[in-house]
């Protein structure tokens, strides 16, 4: 075979697999400011020059509601897929629809990390009742700062939580109502441009105005932040029975501490009672993040990451050291 015939011989081209939608990278995954799934959907719609409603009902809904006619779905609003609540806060949580949205979006974008934009990894572990806000909330100073620095405008998952009332960075209270039109803004709307009101479409960022007292909010916000950032580090999905065993260990250590030093009595007694109820009587029930898990970690002087990442022996020895007990497992 001559060099010419070798060079010109037709060979099938190896074309990499293409995604149906842009393989848009989510923002800040693995950090406390991980992007929320609702924000990702809104940015994905913007990248395709579509409204959020057109993207969801035209591309996502047909793969979930397979028995319904695609052309009819296009004429329906988001509530047909996400529910009748105007807020649709569950999109960022751990419910069945959240899982379906993540599965379909990962298929359409060919990304494998979109579950990190939700609390799906904590399904069955953490009680989701009342965990999320009913409407959007935002730090106007964060958005203004990102705009000035030409960073991507998005909504962190952290802002979705009802117990996150302030921004620890700017010491500002999160805003829940558009300052221009006075509207409460749904988590998902027909048009939801990041950083703008979904009703009057005006910019929602602004500079700092005074400072809020944030210390009383710090423990809860830092605990929630850790939980969000922790998910990509987990080697496997958290197991409820493993968490129950760790909480029982913490309960035993608290009892040891109170037995050796009565000064711990007033500090640990109330949380110990809640801990016993959760770890012994209600073993199969999801646990309340803000009312139980975060306060227990605070009293035990451990982080959320230590609670879930340390093995049983490492956790025990850390607890003994933190509470000044000369014991080992």
Encode the chain (329 residues) as per-residue pLDDT tens digits.
565 565 566 666 677 788 999 999 999 999 999 999 999 999 999 999 999 999 999 999 999 999 898 889 988 988 888 876 554 567 899 989 999 999 999 999 999 999 999 999 999 889 888 899 989 999 999 999 999 999 999 999 999 999 999 999 999 999 999 999 999 999 999 998 899 999 999 999 998 888 889 999 999 999 999 999 999 998 777 888 888 889 889 988 888 888 776 666 566 777 888 887 777 766 678 889 999 999 999 989 999 999 999 999 999 999 999 888 876 76
Which residues span the domain enclosing 288? 239-322
How does DSSP assign 84-112, residue by residue? S-SS-GGGGTTSHHHHHHHHHHHHHHT-S
In a domain, 95, yes or no: yes
Residue at which a domain ends, from 122, 144, 168 = 122
CB atoms within 10 A of CB 178: 19
- Residue 139 is assigned to a structural domain of this protein: no
Number of domains in the chain: 2
Q: Is residue 273 part of a domain?
A: yes
- Would you give the DSSP letter of residue 138? B
HSE-CB at 157 with a 13 A cutoff on CA atoms is 33
* 9 domain-assigned: no
Q: Is there a domain that residue 197 lies in?
A: no
For residue 92, tell me if it sits in a domain. yes
Q: Pick the last residue of a domain from 97, 122, 147.
A: 122
Residue 88 included in any domain: yes
| CB under 8 A, 24+ apart: contacts of 72-78 | 77/53, 77/190, 78/52, 78/53, 78/188, 78/189, 78/190
For residue 224, is it within any domain? no
Pick from 72, 104, 122: which residue ends a domain? 122
Count of CA atoms in the C-beta half-sphere (13 A) of 244: 15
Q: What predicted TM-score, i.e. pTM, was given to this entire model? A: 0.91
């Amino acid at each position: 075979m001559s060099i010419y015939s070798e060079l010109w011989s037709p060979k099938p081209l190896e074309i990499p697999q293409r995604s149906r939608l842009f393989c848009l990278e989510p923002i800040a995954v693995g950090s406390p400011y991980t992007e929320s799934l609702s924000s990702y959907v809104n940015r994905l719609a913007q990248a395709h020059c579509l409204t959020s409603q057109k993207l969801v009902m035209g591309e996502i809904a047909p793969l979930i509601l397979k028995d319904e006619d695609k052309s009819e779905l296009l004429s329906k609003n988001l509530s047909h897929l996400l529910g009748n609540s105007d807020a649709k806060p569950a999109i960022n949580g751990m419910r069945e629809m959240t899982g379906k949205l993540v599965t379909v979006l990962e298929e359409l974008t060919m990304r494998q990390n979109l579950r990190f934009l939700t609390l799906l990894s904590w399904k069955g572990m953490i009680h989701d009742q009342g965990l999320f806000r009913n409407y959007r909330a935002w730090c106007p100073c964060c958005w203004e700062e990102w705009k000035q620095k030409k960073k991507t405008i998005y909504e962190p998952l952290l802002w979705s939580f009802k117990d996150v009332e302030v921004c620890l960075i700017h010491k500002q209270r999160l805003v829940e109502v558009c300052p221009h039109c006075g509207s409460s803004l749904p988590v998902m709307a027909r048009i939801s441009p990041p950083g703008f009101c979904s009703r009057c479409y005006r910019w929602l960022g602004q500079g700092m105005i005074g400072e809020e007292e944030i210390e009383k909010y710090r423990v809860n916000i830092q605990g929630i932040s850790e939980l969000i950032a922790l998910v990509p580090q987990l080697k496997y999905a958290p197991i409820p029975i493993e968490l129950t065993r760790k909480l029982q260990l913490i309960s035993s250590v608290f009892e040891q501490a109170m037995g050796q030093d009565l000064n711990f009595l007033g500090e640990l007694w109330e949380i110990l009672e809640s801990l016993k109820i959760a770890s012994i009587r209600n073993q199969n029930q999801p646990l309340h993040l803000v009312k139980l898990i975060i306060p227990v970690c605070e009293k035990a002087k451990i982080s959320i990451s230590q609670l879930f990442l340390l093995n049983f022996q490492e956790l025990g020895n850390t607890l003994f050291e933190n509470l000044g007990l000369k014991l080992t497992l």
